[in-house]
Structure 1
Amino acid sequence: MKTWFHSWRAAIRIARRDAWRSKGRSSLVLAMIALPILGVSAFDLTYRSSELSPAEKVERTIGAADARLRDAQMGGVPILQDPAGEMHTPAREPQDGSWPSGPTDVTKVIPAGSTVLTDGTGSAKLTTAHGLLMTEVRELKASDPVARGIMVLLDGRFPEKNDEVMVTSHFLETSALSVGSTLSARNFDRPYRIVGTYELPDSLKADQVNALPGAFLAPYGKAVEKAGLPAPDTSVSYLVRKPGGFTWNTVQQINTKGVAVVSRAVALDPPADSEVPLFQKEGWGGNYQASPAARAAELAAVSTVVGLAMLEICLLAGPAFAVGARRSRRQLGLVGANGGARSHIRAIVLSGGLVIGIAAAVTGTVLAVILTLVLQPVLEGVMGQRFGAFDIRPLELLGIALLAVLTGLLAAIVPAVTASRQTVLASLTGRRGVRRSSRVLPLVGLAAFLIGAAIALFGSLVTEQFVIVAGGSAIAELGVVAMTPALVGLFGRTGRWLPLSPRLALRDAVRNRGRTAPAVAAVLAAVAGTVAVSTYMASSEAQRKAEYTPLLPYGVASAFVPEEGGRDVPAVREAVQRAFPVDVRADVERISVGKPGCAQWEQGTGCGRYEVIVPPANECPMYASLPGGGDPSEKYTPEQRRKMLTDDWRCKTSASSGMYVSDGGLLVGDAALLKVLGVDDPATVKALADGKVVSFSRALVDEKGTIGIRQIADAAAADKAAEEHRPYPGEVDSLPAYLVPGDKKTYGVQALMTPATAKAAGLATVPLGVYVSTDRLPDSEQRQKLDGELAKLGSSIELHLEEGFVGNDGIILLSLAVFAGLVTIGAAGIATGLAQADAEADLKTLAAVGAPPRVRRTLSGFQCGVVAAMGVILGSAAGLLPAVGLRLTEERSQIRVYEENLAQGWSGESPLPDLPIVIPWETLGGLLVAVPLGAALLAALVTRSRGALARRAAT
């Protein structure tokens, strides 16, 4: 007695033999299914291997130590920390609103009898073969067993003397140095010899230098201070090993002294959240997890992507299985003639999908493992960290492989059903029979399209929910896919106006919708996604272009060096002059208070600052600070705030706002800067030459026509005064000013004085940078040349070249168009292969009546082009719906925020949001014209003009 097992075993054997005979078709389907499986499996392997275990994390963080102790910088007050030692906060909230700060002595809390290793870090500008490079310097005795695992020695040896260092491999590449080279630092004449290279497993791209404790940072800091510059900040932590380790209770005891701890024992066996006091405080939470709604949304998104990918593969592979079934119809007819039922024929065709699905699963999984192993160094380099153990999760890979099997089965369902409906006589004689398309499916598709469009419209105009718009658009697109057979029939009515070959191709596509519709649907899905993303990105780019605010006039460049008292500014100015086609050059300086070497933001000992005074009468009442603190705008009603923003000049945004140039927007320069910024008022130039401070801001000039500048010797005292809402300490110097008429755009420059005016007022200045206008926009080679010269200086240089709005979506749009084109050509090619199999008899008839051999090539090209054109046209129309819906949703969301601000009196004269919807005609044009034409030409080129000799059919 035969069972279903025996019939399926026979079907699988037949399918396996058929797949082996048709290697080309089988390889095509196998590749389509295996490639996504390969990608997903490789991603899973990479993700799991890069996901470190707690033991691996601890080893890379603290080596072989039991704990790392570091100062929490909270003045020694008790703190609360998380088990990982990454977050901490004072145990008691400050009563006066000021948070504790300051160092504490960590060594006092280290248990007696412990092994201690210091780990200090700082930074220095080190000399390289190209110039200078700001680099992290780490003082850690890496050869000590306690530090094992933190640094991995690659070449050479660990430092053993105070004049020896080892460097990371990335630093060696960046600096163009080698083992044995001499290394030194700026303002520090002591040489160091590189004796080895190493890597940080968690940061492969780090530029770091390792020295013995006390060998570099302390003497370097003294040398820098001797040069009149602030010493770089350094931090020290302690790697501690002690018997018994550091339990969670021990960590909490150490926290009471203001010291944070990273403990090996706690990391390997963390306490419950209920045992962590930090997690009981409001706002600190615990193990942060997404809400159920967020997890559901994420799962829905992943399921949608996987589902659409499987649908795309099924639509592409389905016609290929139909090709196999069509070519095997005589074999299938023999099965029926020998007593086989329709279920047996369906089983044979489905077994083809099963066989190829299993082969694709095995191939994709095996290749994923091999490629991940082979490309492991490349993947680690891209991620910037080493893998942990190579982690293979069999259940996850099995689940991914089952997707391939399922995809193969789904792709073979429609061809299996179609093949089982053919009569034995039609299969044996090669007759096609009468093909009838379903009348229900188009109606279901139309209903789905209308419902999906209504949902998307509702989401974009009522709810402001992106998920609803995307879901409705997906339903509408599936409805269009279901309507594809009927739409193909509508396209057939245009054939009466076409020449012979395209008319034959279109008629053949309409008559055989079972193979045409899936290919058209596959093209439709790919093109719809491309058009949707392209339209959304083009619209967003148009909005960014409309909202773009230039930081400088077009073609103007600026370069600032705000550190080290402008030491490198002359070299920067000359480098810009050499590299760029300079028309006008304007050198600028800044006011300096305290030591000349202080940076603009420096707050160390001996560093001060200055303040450009805004007279009380010129302050906007909504922004004026209150003596006791608080928000002054709360004193006014929304109507009063709105009136101030629209009518009070003090509260309007100045047209001269722009890039940050210096405190108060005050620069020291000459008339060349006015020319660079486009200020050509002769009275302004004369006022600057007469020793006045030229002001572009009405708020800075008081009723006497002067500008006030306060020099603050102690920056820390100024910060404390700001915290206590007191005026800054220091005397105010009043300088005569000239208010430039009108509201000229000066790109962040609020006031300008000459060096002579600053000197006469007793204001010390240091070089800041340069502005240059150019004859033409510098090309890429000139910019690279300048970048190379500036990199040699090793300074923090703020360089900006105003190029106007530059869109960065072009390459993405091109990539999307290429992807859609490849899918289109592939789907159309599959449909064309099936068409050739079906139309073999018609082609022989054409040859018998005298048609030239090129008809086969021409007809093949038009068959491919017709499928591509139908899919592209339908996909372009379907893709506009989600893009327009999402843009309307964004617009409604922004309008709602605008209305809320307007109700509170904060919108002023701001215009109502109006988001543009831009159709990317270049992308659409390429899809509508170039892709079908390219598909047609490619199909015509690869098709032979003469068919193979056919065996005479048995009578």
Structure 2
Amino acid sequence: MSAALAALRIARRNAWRSRGRSALIMVMIGLPVLVITTVLTLTETMNVSPQEGLVAELGAADARLMQLPEGTVLRQQPNGATWSTTGDAATGPRRSNADVEALLGPGTRVIPFDTGVLRLGAERVEALRTDLRDPLTKGMRTLSEGRLPSAAREVAVTSAFGLRPGDLLRPAGAAPLTVVGVVEHPFRPSLRQVVGPDLPLASVEEFWSPGEHGPGWLADTAGPVSWTGVTALNGSGLYVTSRALMADPRSWTRARAMSVQGTVGIGAMVIMVVLETVLLAGPAFAVGLRRRRRELAEIAAQGGSAAHLRTIVLADGLVLGGAATVVATVLGIGAGALGAPIVARWGGEAGPPGVPWAPVLAVAALGLVAGIVAALVPAVQAARQNSAAVLAGRAPAVADRPGWPLAGAALVLAGLGATVVARRQPGSVWVLASAVLVLLGLVVLTPWLVQRTGGLAARLRLPLRMSVRDAVRHRSRTASAVAAVMAVTATVVAMGIGTYSEYMDRRNAYTSARPTGTLAIWAGNIGDAAWSRLRAEAARQLPGVPLAAGYQARDAQGHRYALRYTVRWNGTRTRRTAAIGDQALLTLLQGRHDPRAAAALASGKAVVFDAAALRDGKLALRAGSTSGPARRLDVPAVLATPADEHQGGALLPRALVEQAGFSTAERQLYAMYRPSAGSTLARDLAKVTPRVTVASEEGYRNVPDPSLWGWLGGALVLVVGGTLTATRLAAADMRPEQATMVAIGAPPRTLRALVAGQALYISGLGALVGLLAGTVTGLALTRPMTTHGAGDPATIAMPWPFLVAVVVGLPVLASAAALITRTGRSFARRPL
């Protein structure tokens, strides 16, 4: 039998004999593989390719065509996704079916296929106006309940609505629609859509884009629609989706070369995954080496060479790493495939189960390599052990390497210098790559740090003093665990600072033109009589609520104009529309009466709430319209304080707007009022005119990124798991000392305190060093994550509760978990 085969058999038997340790090693190695494989499979499954999405896009048709708005110039690209358009996007008369059939040639049949939105009160939902009974729509939507709509005012809805056949939909300004069926989208279970042959679609000209909204057709052609045909149809004002082109992967796939940043990012991720896995699983392999030291010494005494001992220990890494990788890969593929439909119910798509085999196999190979590398240091130690000393029961001496601290310090300094340079680069990849250098240097420095902290033991109580001294004496085991905790803590602290700073930057970037709690009612292009009815209905719906009026600006031809200005808010260029109103609206926007601002408004000056928008006492405005030429205005203005700190905007007096050559018409109402959750205000106002919009300013509603606490959960598993692994090894090494303490009357709580002291020392030292390293990287990450251009300062926010939980809470939790570790009271034979 060859030595390698014998080593594998020994490793398999040893893994089965020490099932608890083997399971722990497999978890440490397999957990990263499981997580990454799950994410890869989930992403691949939820990424519906153009070929897979053909059935939902075209049904059984050969092509889908969409009419372009008048004045639009379209130039489709071979992948069918890039387009450019100019013009005012005004919808022209709809082409007839016969016109489209003539453009496509003899033997063509088309059916209407219009996409848009349906207004249900204040809500806009996706709508599809077509006949689902036609064979051309086969597979687009699957009937799950009821029947397909066949008559006017009959519709089918997707299951996300939660409606049943027989329920009614009440679109704004139209007769009720009867739900006769429930349908499913092939890939989008969360889609809320109404489908029917006769739907009152709302105008979506301001949202128009090819393939999304607008009048269109499904076409059954005599032959495939080629790229030449697509170009010709573009010239006739039609956007085309061709089955023949979409089914050909060459028409929509483009090989993209890996960028330098992408390569660096993948390399940094691979190093971090392998490093963390090695540091976590390394102490567990050391446990096996401690317990098998005598067995390996006996093999050496019977003629086994140092190479044989290395092979035996490396075989442990191969067997356990291979088993962990296989199990984790299978579980990750299953979790990703099964989880995609569940995740898609909250948004997104879920196609047929897909596995990106190349990345998945690369991750599996990475896990296998990590298992072997984790066993490499114990293998070297096994080859160098003194067999005579081991058989005599004496502990091996620890050899220091004086050159390692210098190498570690050099790596740390190089990493810090690279971090300073990377902070100025776009993107966070370079900062993370620099952090890898810092972490590698700290890993090399960890044995030196462990040795230097041993001097603190003299001032501690007996259990802690013995714990620290034992940790220093067994530096090879302790340093690996401390480095693992340090790497986890540094990564979590860095990402926590960066994530929280990004959240605070988004929060600071939030801005509104009205105070929180403001109700706004706007009307579109309606006449004075319709506005009077709408205003009366609003007053009836809101009895006793003061209403402040806002006005539209119009030119002599009646074209509506918006008066806008641009200001930089939190480093981002923000475009605002100035309101037009009187003293009542000014009081609402300021939340109080401001005599100075009121006097300025009465004198014909603009009142501005954005200090950066003022230049020499003037506000630069651009008057824009979809129907008339743009104009530029410089108006006198004063600065005032708004009601909310995040509020901006400007208020123009009517006299100032009319002096500029515009007329004004009241078309807005504002009030400090919060509608209830079940309010029918929007639906009731829409009965007067469908051109009304009701909006409520709720303020900044986002909560901190939940990934912040996801990082804490991951750190909890890794830090506590790695610490307890090292603590278990320490307890095994300290059995002679524990036996001596028991012999002289030490109670069980002293033994537990001894073990807990090891956990506190390992996790505490690793957390402190990790805090320093993570803070440096986190502060560097804030610049690429929170800046929006030259001159924009970085937002730096420290998540103090999160940092305390990581740096203080996790070591305390690890120590508390170690307190319940079972401590044996058996006597051990002490060497003489």
2:140 counterpart SS class: coil
Whether 2:165 is the aligned partner of 1:179: answer yes
Cα gap change, 1:762 to 1:820, in 2 (>3 Å)? closer
TM-score by length of 1: 0.72
| 358-367 or 534-543, larger mean C-alpha shift | 534-543
1:261 aligns with 2:222: no
Shift in alpha-carbon separation, 1:251–1:44, aligned structure 2, 3 A: same
Equivalent position of 1:406 in the other structure: 369
**Distance in 1 between the 2:574 and 2:49 partners?**
45
Match among 503, 510, 517 for residue 465 of structure 2: 503
2:548 pairs with 1:588: yes
Q: In structure 2, which of residues 117, 121, 140 is the aligned counterpart of residue 123 of structure 1?
A: 117
Amino acid across the alignment from 1:841? P
Which residue of structure 1 lines up, in the alignment, with residue 477 of structure 2?
515
Structure-1 separation of matches of 2:721 and 2:783:
34
User: What one-letter code is carried by the residue in structure 1 that aligns with 2:378?
Assistant: P
CA distance in 1, matches of 2:476, 2:55: 61
- Matched position secondary structure for 2:216: strand
1:300 aligns with 2:264: yes
Query: What stretches of structure 1 of length at least 5 have no aligned partner?
Result: 222-232, 273-285, 578-583, 595-602, 615-622, 624-650, 700-711, 728-736, 773-781, 899-912
Residue 385 (structure 1) shift: 2.0
Cα shift readout 1:702-739 (whole Å, capped 9, x = no counterpart) = xxxxxxxxxx9xx9xx645416x799xxxxxxxxx9x9
830-839 vs 109-118, which moves further: 109-118
SS of the equivalent of 1:155 reads: strand
Give the partner amino acid of 2:321: G
Task: Provide, for residues 738-790 of structure 1, a one-character-per-residue CA deviation record: whole Å limited to 9, x for no partner.
Answer: x9987454753524579xx9xxx996534523135xxxxxxxxx99x447666
Task: Pick one of 766, 781, 784 that aligns with 1:871.
Answer: 766
Contact preservation (8 Å) 2:46, 2:348: no
Query: Partners of 2:784 and 2:475 in 1: how far apart?
Result: 37
Deviations 1:223-268 (A, max 9, x none): xxxxxxxxxx983212111222222333333334333322112222
* Cα distance in 2 for residues equivalent to 1:267 and 1:742: 56
AA aligned opposite 1:557: T
What residue in structure 1 maps to residue 67 of structure 2?
A: 71
Contact 2:72 2:89 in 1 (8 A): no
Tell whether 2:560 aligns with 1:609.
yes
- Give SS of 1:797's match: strand
Partner of 1:933: 812
Match of 2:408 among 426, 445, 468: 445
Letter in 2 for 1:71: Q
Query: 2:694 maps to what in 1?
Result: 797
- Matched to 1:434, the amino acid is A
The 3-state SS of whatever aligns with 1:516 is helix
1:372 partner amino acid = G
Contact 1:694-1:753 within 8 A present in 2 as well: no
- Superposition pairs of residues 852-871 of structure 1, within 5 angstroms: 852-871=747-766
The residue that corresponds to 2:613 in the other structure is: none
Give the AA of the match of 1:943.
R
Q: Relative to 1, partners in 2 of residues 1:570 and 1:381: Cα closer, same or farther, differing over 3 Å?
A: farther
CA contact (8 A) 1:561 1:568 kept: no
- Letter in structure 1 aligned against 2:185: L
Q: Say whether the 8 Å CA contact 2:578–2:649 is kept in structure 1.
A: no
Q: Judging changes above 3 Å, is the alpha-carbon distance between structure 1 residues 569 and 490 closer, same or farther for their aligned structure 2 residues?
A: farther
CA 1:123–1:930 in structure 2 vs 1: closer, same or farther (change >3 Å)? Answer: closer
Report if the CA contact (8 A) 2:736-2:830 is conserved: no
Cα 1:43/1:374, change in 2 over 3 Å: same
* Structure 1 counterpart of 2:607, from 676, 696, 710: 696
| Native 8 Å contact 1:80 1:255 kept in 2 | yes
Partner residue, 2:217: 238
Query: Cα 1:29–1:146, aligned 2, differ >3 Å: closer, same or farther?
Result: same
* Contact 2:77–2:83, Cα closer than 8 Å, also in 1: yes
Shift of 1:568: 7.4
What is the CA distance between 1:382 and its match in structure 2? Answer: 4.1
Q: Pairwise CA RMSD of aligned residues?
A: 4.5
- State the alpha-carbon separation in 2 of the partners of residues 526 and 574 from structure 1: 61
Match of 1:26, as an amino acid?
S
| Partner AA of 1:816 in structure 2 | W
Contact kept, 8 Å, 2:136 with 2:220, in 1: the verdict is yes
Alignment partner of 1:335 is 2:249:
no
Output the CA distance in 2 between the equivalents of 1:197 and 1:431: 77
- Aligned pairs for 1:610-649 within 5 A: none
- Letter of the aligned partner of 1:198 in structure 2? V
Distance 1:889 1:271 in 2: 36
| Aligned partners of 1:75 and 1:103 also within 8 Å | no
2:619 maps to none
Matched, 1:418 2:329: no
Matched letter for residue 386 of structure 2: T
Kindly state the Cα deviation for residue 429 of structure 1 after the two structures are TM-superposed: 3.5
Matched to 1:748, the amino acid is G
In structure 2, the residue matched to 1:482 is 444
Q: Within the alignment, does 1:765 sit opposite 2:666 as a pair? A: yes
| Per-residue deviation, residues 915-947 of structure 1 (Å, max 9, x unmatched) | 465554444433343322222122012334x43
- The answer (yes or no) to whether the contact 2:597–2:607 under 8 Å persists in 1 is no
Q: Displacement of 1:499 after TM fit?
A: 1.2
Q: Cα offset for 1:607?
A: 7.2
The amino acid across from 1:493 in the alignment is: G
Counterparts of 1:258 and 1:509 in 2: how far apart (Å)?
77
Fraction of identical pairs, as percent: 29
Q: Deviations over 1:390-448 (max 9, x none)?
A: 33455554333222211110111111111222222333333212222322322221221
**Structure label with greater radius of gyration:** 1
- Supply the AA of the counterpart residue of 1:199: E
Say which of 827, 835, 842 aligns to 2:737: 842
Indicate how the Cα distance of structure 1 residues 544 and 830 shifts in structure 2: closer, same or farther if over 3 A, else same.
Answer: same
Deviation at 1:143, TM superposition (A): 1.8
Equivalent residue for 1:216, pick from 199, 212, 220: 199
Q: Does the CA-based 8 Å contact 1:83-1:267 persist in structure 2?
A: no
2:408 paired with 1:435: no
Give the drift of 1:450: 2.2
State the Cα distance separating 1:531 from its structure 2 match.
Answer: 2.3
Q: Following the alignment from structure 2 to structure 1, what is the Cα–Cα distance between the partners of residues 718 and 542?
A: 48
Contact map agreement 2:607 2:651 (CA 8 A) in 1: yes
Matched, 1:674 2:653: no
- Deviation (angstroms), 1:329: 1.9
1:507 and 1:89, CA in 2 relative to 1: closer, same or farther beyond 3 A?
Answer: closer
User: Superposed, which structure 2 residues align to 1:392-403 within 5 Å?
Assistant: 392=355, 394-403=357-366
- Other structure's SS at 2:820 match: helix
Paired with 1:414 and 1:195, the residues of 2 have a C-alpha distance of 69
How far apart are residue 879 of structure 1 and its match? 1.8
Higher mean C-alpha displacement, 885-894 vs 516-525: 885-894
Question: 915-924 or 824-833: which moved more?
Answer: 915-924
- Amino acid paired to 1:117: I
In 1, Cα distance between equivalents of 2:43 and 2:274: 22
Instruction: Check conservation: 2:37, 2:360, Cα contact below 8 A.
Output: yes
After superposition, the Cα gap between the structure-2 partners of 1:720 and 1:751, relative to the gap in structure 1 and judged at 3 Å, is closer
Aligned to 2:31, which of 29, 32, 35? 35
Q: Give the superposition deviation at 1:503.
A: 0.8
Question: Structure 1 residues 467-476 or 786-795, which shifts more?
Answer: 786-795
In structure 1, C-alpha distance between the alignment counterparts of 2:180 and 2:319, rounded to whole Å:
59
Quick check: 2:172–2:683 contact (8 Å CA) kept in 1? no
Q: Distance in 1 between matches of 2:21 and 2:146?
A: 55
Match of 1:161 in 2: 151
TM score, norm. by length of structure 2: 0.82
- 1:653 and 1:888 mapped to 2: Cα distance? 18
Task: Answer with 670-679 or 541-550: which moved more.
Answer: 541-550
Q: Does structure 2 retain, via aligned residues, the 8 Å contact 1:122–1:217? A: no
Residue 325 of structure 1, aligned match among 289, 297, 315: 289
Q: Aligned to 1:722, which of 629, 636, 661?
A: 629
